[in-house]
Amino acid sequence: MHGTHPFATMALVSTLRKVLPTALVATLLAGCSNTPEPTAAPTTASSSASSSPATPAPTDPVAAAIGFPGEPTDITTGLDVPWGLAVLPDGTALVTLRDEARVLQVGPGVLNAIGADGEDGAVPDVYPDGEGGLLGIALSPDFATDNHVFLYQTARQDNRVVRYTLAQNRLTEPTEIVTGIPKNSTHNGGRIAFGPDGMLYIGTGDAQDRPTAQDVNSLGGKILRVLPDGSVPPDNPFSGSRTWSYGHRNPQGFGWDSAGRLIASEFGQDTWDELNVIRPGGNYGWPTVEGPGDGGGQFVAPVQTWATDDASPSGVAVTPDAVYVAALRGEKLWRVPLNPDGPTGTPDAYLDGTLGRLRTVEVGPDGTLWMLTSNTFRGEPRAGDDRLVTVPLV
Q: What is the DSSP letter of 120?
A: G
Cα pseudo-dihedral 217, 130, 82, 386, rounded to 10: -150
Task: Based on the residue annotation, tell me whether 187 is a catalytic residue of this protein.
Answer: yes
For 325-357, give the DSSP string.
EEESTT-SEEEEEEETTEE-S--EEESTTTSS-
Yes or no: say if 253 and 177 are a contact pair by the CB < 8 Å rule.
Answer: no
Tallying the residues shown for the chain, one arrives at: 394
Grouping H, G, I as helix, E, B as strand and the rest as coil, residue 67 is coil
Burial 32-42 (b: 16+ CB within 10 A, else e): beeeeeeeeeb
Exactly one of 5, 148, 187, 248 is catalytic; name it.
187
- 32 backbone dihedrals φ, ψ, rounded to 5°: -100, -5
CA pair distance 334, 310, nearest whole angstrom: 10
Which residues are designated catalytic?
187
